[in-house]
Amino acid sequence: MTALIRLVEELPNELLTIDGAEYNRFVRSVSTMKSALDFPDWIVYSGPNIEPHDRGLGEAICNLRACLEPLPDEQIPTATAGLSFITDQQLQESIRADIAYANQAFSGGEWKAATVLAGAAAEALLLWAITEKKSGPDVESARVALIPKASKNPNKWDLDEYIKVAREVVLIEDETAKQATLAKDFRNLIHPGRSARLAKICDRGTALSALAAVEFVVRDLS
């Protein structure tokens, strides 16, 4: 029980997204457990077995688990781009998660993970923008002119094709297209064969480049 309390106390505040009656139940459960440990006489001896007084401990532990079970294992930092322009909440949170994890990977020195996740987020954003475009230059005309051999279905394109079409139909600026192209090249280093052929690896520079690309895409789409 001491170990359980310690683990609860080490939970990051941003993960404790509890309010109202559930928060009261959480606090009451932890307090009940702590109170039990404060009194040395809470255990009584009965024959060869040691049995604890009830003191609501079983209920407190069950309530604690019930409060914690639905909470997220990871929390997207509030500083992560909100992407409010995406109305599909599930897609919005999925892309935000990729951006958040890319930044976390960068902070932890995981250059390849940061590079790949940021590239994936940029790709998802451009796919969304292209499929949602309702006015202005025509996406299909841009595809025919720039990537005639590509599928008519944007879901089957790769990042390079998204970048070219997005720039052509004025979804992103020139500098964003250039930065995203760099990110595309670095992202491909996830393939061992390509990395070996080019004698290049993901490093802090590739991660920064990919993170800059996704930030530029978010800025333009916003």
**Cβ count within 10 A of residue 45:** 8
- Look up the pTM and report it: 0.65
pLDDT of residue 210: 93
pLDDT of residue 152: 92
Query: Which residues of the chain are modeled with pLDDT < 70?
Result: 14, 39-55, 74-81, 185-200
Residue 52 belongs to what H/E stretch?
A: strand 49-52
pLDDT of residue 196: 46
Sorted by sequence, the CB contacts under 8 Å of residue 187 that are 6+ apart come out as: 115, 116, 119, 120, 159, 210
CA 100 to chain centre: 5
pLDDT digits (tens, 9 = 90+) for 140-180: 999 999 999 999 999 999 899 999 999 999 999 999 999 99
Check: CB of residue 40 under 8 Å from CB of residue 32: no
Considering the domain 89-221, what is its CATH architecture? Up-down Bundle (1.20)
Check: CB of residue 188 under 8 Å from CB of residue 159: no
Residue for token pair 């670095």: 186
- Report the distance separating Cα 189 and Cα 172, nearest Å: 24
Short-list 47, 10, 53, 49, CA closest to 30? 10
pLDDT of residue 109: 93
Domain assignments of the chain as residue spans, ordered by start: 2-68, 89-221
pLDDT of residue 136: 77
